[in-house]
């Protein structure tokens, strides 16, 4: 064995613990959080247990209220709510049709909701269940099974969403059926 490929010849043995052919790594102190992070963490620790689920519920209620108030199914091109990407480029963004799908879901029309954004309709029951399981465990100690999504499942969903987003922008049949 030549001295160029011999790890002992390249990195001679040092006194102390053995870390393979390389010297021991230097000791680093963990970074201290900044003022904003410390403030948020302190408020999180000091807040009552019901604040986070209530804040999520308020956000969801705001989204539902916005959707019901704007009547997105009756909006013309360029009227609020309008997708800026679609308005300026003509391309359908990955979220285009989501507000209309939510409107149809709120009115119980699942086929029309799926026509506007099929992945949104697919994901909504899972998101609602995840919220109920999390809030129920946090507030009431319910032991509902948690949905633990592996990175592979999340990556697969993002890949499907990306492919679907490209396919719905293709201008020939059968992909024109995805156009909203």
- Write out pLDDT tens, residues 47-81: 898 988 999 999 999 999 988 888 888 776 556 55
pTM across the whole model = 0.66
Residue count of the chain, please give it: 180
- Mean pLDDT for the stretch of residues 29-57: 89
Average pLDDT, the chain: 81
Could you give the CA distance from residue 123 to residue 5 in angstroms, rounded to a whole number? 54
Q: Which residue has the higher pLDDT, 177 or 56?
A: 56
Query: How far is the CA of 61 from the CAs of 11, 55, 56, in angstroms?
Result: 63, 10, 9
The pLDDT value given to residue 39: 93
Domain ranges in the chain?
48-178
């Amino acid at each position: 064995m030549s001295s160029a490929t011999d790890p002992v010849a390249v990195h001679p043995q040092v006194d102390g613990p053995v870390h393979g052919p390389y010297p021991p790594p230097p000791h680093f102190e963990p970074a201290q959080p900044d003022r904003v992070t410390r403030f948020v963490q302190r408020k999180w620790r000091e807040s009552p247990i019901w604040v986070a689920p209530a804040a999520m519920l308020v956000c969801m209620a705001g989204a539902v209220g916005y959707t019901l108030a704007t009547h997105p199914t009756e909006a013309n091109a360029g009227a609020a709510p309008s997708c800026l990407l679609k308005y300026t480029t003509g391309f359908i963004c990955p979220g285009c049709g989501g507000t209309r799908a939510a409107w149809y879901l709120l009115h119980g029309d699942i086929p029309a909701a799926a026509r506007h954004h099929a992945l949104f309709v697919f994901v909504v029951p899972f998101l609602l269940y995840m919220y109920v399981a999390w809030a129920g465990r946090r507030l009431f100690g319910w032991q509902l099974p948690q949905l633990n999504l592996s990175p592979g499942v999340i990556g697969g969903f993002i890949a499907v969403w990306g492919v679907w987003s490209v396919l719905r922008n293709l201008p020939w049949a059968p992909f024109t059926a995805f156009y909203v």
